[in-house]
Structure formats: structure tokens, C-alpha cells
Chains A and B, each alone.
Chain A
Amino acid sequence: MSLFDQKVSDLHEQLHKKEISVSDLVEESYKRIAEVDTQVAAFLTLDEERARSQAKKLDEKLGTDEAKGLLFGMPIGVKDNIVTKDLRTTAASQILHNFNPIYDATVVKKLQEAETITIGKLNMDEFAMGSSTENSSFKKTKNPWNIETVPGGSSGGSAAAVAAGEVPFSLGSDTGGSIRQPASFCGVVGLKPTYGRVSRFGLIAFASSLDQIGPITRTVEDNAYVLQAIAGVDPMDSTSADVEVPSYVNALTGDVKGLKIGVPKEYIGEGVNPEVRESVLKALATLEKLGATWEEVSLPHSKYALSTYYLLSSSEASANLARFDGVRYGYRSPNSNNLMDLYKNSRAEGFGDEVKRRIMLGTFALSSGYYDAYYKKAQKARTLIKKDFEDVFAKYDVIVGPTTPTPAFRIGEKTSDPLTMYANDILTIPVNLAGVPGISVPCGFDQGLPLGLQIIGKHFDEATVYRVAHAFEQATDFHKQKPGL
């Protein structure tokens, strides 16, 4: 039992009535971490001293107008690829093991303006490359529902910390499913916003045309509050979109009457575990009872998404990760007599296997003689995948399917073969390629492990995605179940 079993608006209400203090919330967070994090291993770095002194300052504001913001005083966890000033930020890589950023990411700044308190930094796959958090070069995070299984990835620490009640919510990042897949595995709510909805300034880049930061929370309502705080155009990120941010909380009406849902046959067919398919069909029946209608549709190029994604994301990664060279910051190999060796040795010693593999693949796909055959071909395939979504959204309000083909797998089960691990993201990757928003909400259990329902919306229509997710959540009680830690 954790204070954070309650939703953010209830915690806010108690703060408002002075039944609890901000210091109580911060202490609850560190107490819970002390109790369960030796098992869960979600956090890489804690910021206890600063968090406690900040809590004291905020407690003086309790009861005044300055404490009116809904997120005021909330303890948060931040994925370790989002830079935090003077708080070690590693992207779970040895190459940044000693890196202390000199500025805050825009999302961190915005959450500070909302007077949240950063509890610490959360574990992830190195540079967000992975689907199980097993690629962290520091520790393996465990799934709070069964510590022999993975929490998913790459935002495994962010999802596990929320599921384990260590923080009320956290930030993750999603390039091919890295928020939604761990949210699904850990039984929490995770949203990947529309590309450009949230500033990427201060997010350590993996694949710049796909990366988005988003919230991981206990409930859909909490998720809407956090997105509200971090969304919007940012002069520091020229790819952030100058599109009005509506009120997401106002969208939570519970009303889905007349809503048209498309269910891609590719998302409930071969390769999807029968229990997963069953839970999605039951969820659709629930939404039907609430007044929505659904029909089977097709995203015909789905099967090409995985190869398209690996070629494009690895190519972008090979360029983005060129900056880690042992010169200006991060790890420097002590064994180099000239500059070329310093680059090569620092990178060879500082990067883990999966990161090297993707840098190699990307460098190959971009190299002279192969560019047209691989990189450009993949960019064209991306156009076809994006068009699949446009065609369905011309007739339907949202697309619904499972988040992942299976529940959480066992630690070590998929580490030997990169392609098997990659296949786990087959239902989330197309969403990043099309740039549309997608959420995962709890929709059932298979042998005690949570399953997630994925709801995908039109560009910049997070409001409808939230409305559907919220209506479903209110009609079910999967989100009320907690892991027995």
C-alpha cells in the first residue's frame, strides 16, 4: 500500500486541505524506494537532499494561491535520457557514467514551473535502444508484477517505478514503443504524444524523427494532467509544433457514443497471443456497450514497419551518437596515443553491444553505395505506412488493438537474438513512423501479468485518445489492481 495508489487529483485535494504535506509525499517516495527498489531496481540516481529541501520550501506555500496547481508538490521520476541540471544523466550508458548536465530539458523545466519535485533518474535500455531494460549498462530493472520478468523497455524504470508505487508518475520517451510497451507490461498508463506535441530539447537523441517524451501514470486522468503541463511549442526545438494545446482534462467526459473505431486485422491476427487477442475483443465489447462501434480495417503495410524502423532509427542513431567521442564530456579511454584512437577506444569501451550494433547498421545503411538501397527505400516505405493510417483515419476516429503481442517475457529469454527482441515492438513501431499519438491502458491479465490496450489517434488528437481511454478505464477495474510487492 502506497499513498500513490491514489490519483494525483486526490493527493492534491489532501495537500489543499493540509491533511498531508509535500514533505510527506517526498518521504513516502523515498520510503517506498527503500522498501522495494532493491528488488525492482527502477532508479539509477536519487536526488534526496535537494528534493527534501525543495519540499520544505513548497510546504511554506501550502494553503496559498501558489499551491493551487494540480501538480504542485508531486514527486516525479525522470527517465535517464532526459537531462537534469546538476543531476547525473547517463542514458544508462558507461559513456555518460559521470555526466552532469549544465541545463534542464524543457519538459523538466516545465514540470519545475508546475512545482513538482524530482525524486531521481530512472533506468532504461542504453540510449533507449531495447525493449526490456536489459540493455542498461548499470542494472536490470524487474517487473513489479513478477520480478522474474522484464518491465519492458526502453522506459522500463519509468513504468516499474509507477507500478511499484515509488512515484505517482514519471516521464519516459518513445521511439518505437518505449513508453507504451513498458506501460503495458507493468499495468500502468503510458502515452506517446503526436510527434512535435512535446519539446525534445534536452532529450538525448536516439532517432530524431521518431523520438517523443510522454507521461507514465496510474490513471488516464493523471496522464492528461501531466501532458497538459509538458505540451506545446518550444523555441529550443524547431520540430516542436505550433499547434494549440486543448484542455485534455475537459476531454474526459466518459462519453464515447457514436465513436467509430477501426481495428486493424494485422493487429489481432497471427503472432498475437490468444489471451491478448481475447482481452482486446472484450475491451471492444466494453466500448460497444458504451455506445461506440467498431469494424475490422487494414493497415496493409504493417509487416514492413519493423525493417523500415530499424533502418531509419539506426541511421539516425549513427549520426546522433557521433557526438560521444570522449573529447568534451563523458567517458574517455585512458589508452590512446592519438586522436583517432581516442575516438575509437572511448566509443568501443563506452558503448554496449546493442548500441554498437545499431550504430554499425545505421552507418552501413547510410554509407556510399548502400544509401539508396536501404535508407532511401525505408523512407519510401515509411510514406506507405503513414498513408495506411491516413486512409483509416479518413473514416474512423481511433484505431484500437493490443499494445504488445504477448505479456512480459522472462529476463534473459530474448537477449541472444536481436531480431526476436525487435519483433516485440511490431504493434507500436508503426505509430512512431506515422507520427500519430498512441496510449496503452490496462485491459486484462494473463497468468498474473498485465496486458495493455493500445488506442491510436489522429495527429494532435490526444484529446480523443484520452476520452476513449478514460471511458474504458472507468468501465473496468484493471487499473485498480496493484502488484503484490
Chain B
Amino acid sequence: MSRISIEEVKHVAHLARLAITEEEAVNFQKQLDAIITFSEQLNELDTENVEPTSHVLDIKNVLREDVSKEGLPQELVLKNAPDQQDGQIKVPPIIE
């Protein structure tokens, strides 16, 4: 039985904001299924009383003084923008 269906692949692609073709969906389904099946070897491990590790160093909240600083100049912020108008980044319509 496969771990992930074509429909789920398409749903995940939507969540990841990736346009995919039917052919890509079929390919991803096979490859992801193989990788997920392989990763299920972790089920052999008893992790009942094991804490998850999200970070290897014992760092707690890292705080700094809340001082105001000069922001980036508009010209630099827009330097790499693919499209712009009147000092703002331009995108296609958001509301139809």
C-alpha cells in the first residue's frame, strides 16, 4: 500500500505553493512514497520517554536591548524587486 496518494501529493504541492503537472505528481508520488517508507524504520525505535530535540545547544531566550535603529532605505529594499511602482512592490491582483 502506498504511504501517499496522488491526491495527497497534489494537496501537499498546493500547501507548498508549487504548481505541478500530472506527470510530476505521478513521479513525486513514487519518490516520496519510497522516502517515507524508508523513514518509517524510525518506528522500530522506542521513543516513549524520549524528549524531542529541536536545537542542540542549551540556548534559552536570547534577548537584546530594544533600541530603535534606522531601517533599510527604500531604494535598497526595492533593488531586487521584480516589479515596482511608486516606491512599492507591484504584484498581480489579489482580489478578483
List residues of chain A with CB under 8 Å of any chain B CB.
98-100, 102, 195-196, 209, 235, 238-239, 241, 301, 303-304, 307-308, 310-311, 318, 322, 325-332, 336-345, 347-348, 351, 356-357, 359-361, 363-364, 367, 374, 376-384, 386, 418-419, 433-435, 459
Q: Which residues of the other chain, B, contact A340 by a CB distance below 8 angstroms?
A: 17
Chain B residues within 8 Å of A360, by CB: 9, 12-13, 16, 18, 28, 32
Q: Which of B31, B43, B59 contacts A418 (CB 8 A)?
A: B31
In the complex, which residues of chain B have a beta carbon less than 8 angstroms from the beta carbon of A379?
A: 52-54
Q: Is B96 in the interface zone, CB < 8 Å from A? A: yes
* Smallest CB gap from B14: residue in A: A344
Q: Give the residue among B18, B34, B81, B89 with the most A Cβ atoms within 10 A.
A: B18
CB <8 Å contact, B38 and A419: yes
Residue in B35, B36, B44, B91 whose CB lies within 8 Å of A327: B91
Question: Is there contact, CB below 8 Å, between A418 and B39?
Answer: no
* Smallest beta-carbon distance B19→chain A, Å: 4
CA distance A278 to B30 in the complex (A): 38
A304 to B38, CA, bound (A): 10
Q: Does B4 contact A (CB under 8 A)?
A: yes
Point out the residues of chain B lying under 8 angstroms from A235, CB to CB: 64
Contacts A304-B42, A419-B38 supplied; 6 other A-B pairs, CB < 8 Å = A102-B80, A329-B82, A342-B91, A342-B92, A351-B18, A359-B18
User: B93: which A residues are within 8 A, CB to CB?
Assistant: 337-339
Picked from B8, B16, B55, B89, the residue with its CB within 8 Å of the CB of A209 is B55
- 5 closest Cβ contacts across the A-B interface? A435-B56, A379-B52, A329-B80, A332-B82, A307-B39
| CB proximity of A296 to chain B, nearest CB, Å | 23
Q: Is the CB of A348 within 8 A of B35?
A: no
Query: Which residues of B have CB within 8 Å of A386?
Result: 53, 56
| CB-CB under 8 A for A382 and B52, given A304-B42, A332-B83, A339-B92 | yes
- Shortest Cβ gap from B9 to chain A (Å): 7
The answer to whether B45 touches A384, judged by C-beta atoms less than 8 angstroms apart, is yes
Contact, CB under 8 Å: B92 / A363: no
Majority-rule SS of B interface residues = loop
Q: Are B79 and A435 in contact (CB under 8 A)?
A: no
Select the residue from A99, A341, A384 with max chain B CB neighbours within 10 A.
A384
The verdict on A326 contacting B12 (CB below 8 Å), with A241-B59, A338-B93, A356-B18 known, is: no
Task: Give the residues in chain B near A382, CB-CB below 8 Å.
Answer: 52-53
Q: Indicate whether B72 reaches chain A with its CB closer than 8 angstroms.
A: yes
Name which residue of chain A comes closest to B43, CB basis. Answer: A377
Q: Which residues of A contact B8 (CB under 8 A)?
A: 364
Of listed B4, B8, B80, residue having the most chain A CB within 10 A: B80
Let me know if A367 and B15 touch, CB within 8 A.
yes
Ordered by A's residue number, 28 sampled pairs between the chains whose C-beta atoms are within 8 Å are: A102-B77, A195-B56, A209-B54, A235-B64, A238-B59, A241-B59, A304-B45, A307-B40, A307-B42, A327-B82, A327-B89, A327-B91, A329-B82, A330-B80, A344-B19, A357-B28, A360-B18, A363-B15, A364-B36, A377-B42, A378-B42, A379-B53, A380-B45, A386-B56, A418-B34, A419-B35, A435-B56, A459-B56
Q: Give the complex CA separation of A25 and B76 in angstroms.
A: 33
Query: With A339-B93, A345-B19, A380-B47 given, is the CB distance from A239 to B57 under 8 Å?
Result: yes
Neighbouring A residues of B16 by C-beta, 8 Å: 318, 347, 359-360, 363
Q: A339-B94, A381-B47 are in contact. Are A310 and B56 (CB under 8 A)?
A: no
Of the candidates B47, B51, B72, B91, the one whose C-beta lies within 8 Å of that of A377 is: B47
Minimal beta-carbon separation of A75 from chain B (angstroms): 27
* Cα–Cα distance between A348 and B19 once the two chains are bound (Å): 5
Interchain CB contact (< 8 A) of A307 among B31, B38, B54, B79: B38
The answer for the CA separation of A361 and B35 in the assembled complex, in Å, is 8
B68 at the interface (CB under 8 A from A): no
Q: How far is the CA of A357 from the CA of B4 in the complex (A)?
A: 14
Contact among B4, B17, B56, B76 with A364 in the assembled complex (CB-CB below 8 Å) = B4
Let me know if B50 is at the binding interface, CB within 8 A. Answer: yes
- CB contacts (< 8 Å) of A329 on chain B: these are 80-82
Contact indicator A383/B81 (Cβ below 8 Å): no
How close is B74's CB to chain A, nearest CB, in angstroms? Answer: 12
Name the residue of chain A whose CB is nearest to the CB of B81: A328
Residues of B within 8 A of A336 (CB): 92
**B85 part of interface (Cβ distance < 8 Å):** no
Shortest CB distance A133–B (Å): 21
Q: Is B62 an interface residue (CB 8 A)?
A: yes
Q: How far is the CB of A354 from chain B (nearest CB, A)?
A: 10
Q: In the complex, A195→B55 CA distance in Å? A: 9
